[in-house]
Amino acid sequence: MPSARLLTILLASASLVISAAVAAPQGKGPPQDRGQEKGQQQAAKHKHVHNNGHNLLGAKLKQNGHHQVAKLGNRTVTADVENGKVKNMAADDLQAKRVKTTMKMASLEGDVIPVPFGGTGLQFAQYSPDTYYYGYCFDDGFNYTCYWYPAEDVDYVSYTWDDYYPYY
């Protein structure tokens, strides 16, 4: 049982470290910094919504064409598929932003899941340093909605992809 107790202590410690790292300082700073801080607070109000684009497209991923994926408010979200790869996505008048990350964002529900790694430390279940996930994100002014795909589902070579920034 000592190893179970040690694992519990490690998990609790990791949770505290993660909580401290995520918490933002609330200092006022000089007046010129206040405008920047206010802009950051407004940006933080965007709710990020993560969708599994692979699952939403389903069998349509193997059919060339322009396919409806979902609805975003009163907008229709579509994907252009060619040779089993998503080439582009659109949501009527909203501009799509192409982003990439090593986190499996489509599986997150706002939780970080630490798991034992190699018996000596922790690794996050959604993290893989060698595997990228590609997303098409839409900002409607309130929500930042992303549709995520594994690399094999996306034509990522033909385009530029920004790193996903979760604090926008």
DSSP string, 52-64: EHHHHHGGGGGS-
Size of the chain, expressed as the number of residues it contains: 168
Confidence tier at 4 by pLDDT (50, 70, 90)? low
- Does 16 score more than 50 pLDDT? no
Of the two residues 150 and 129, the one the predictor is more confident about is 150
Q: Are 80 and 86 in contact (CB under 8 A)?
A: yes
The secondary element (H helix, E strand) that includes residue 50 is strand 47-52
Q: Is 38 helix (H, G, I), strand (E, B) or coil?
A: helix
Of the two residues 24 and 134, the one the predictor is more confident about is 134
59, HSE (Cβ side, Cα atoms, 13 Å): 0
Confidence tier at 3 by pLDDT (50, 70, 90)? low
Confidence tier at 2 by pLDDT (50, 70, 90)? low
Tokens of 93: 């008048």
Q: Report the share of the chain in percent with pLDDT over 70.
A: 59
- Does 12 score more than 50 pLDDT? yes
State the average pLDDT over residues 107-129: 48
Of the two residues 132 and 15, the one the predictor is more confident about is 132
Tokens of 1: 């049982």
Rounded to whole angstroms, the Cα distance separating 154 from 86 reads: 5
Q: Give the pLDDT confidence score for residue 104 in this predicted structure.
A: 84
Greatest mean pLDDT among 16-30, 82-96, 120-134 lies in 82-96
Q: Are 47 and 33 in contact (CB under 8 A)?
A: no
Mean pLDDT of the chain: 75
Phi, psi of 46 (to 5 degrees): -65, 125
Of the two residues 56 and 8, the one the predictor is more confident about is 56
State the average pLDDT over residues 52-80: 95
Rounded to 5°, the CA angle 132-39-98 comes to 25
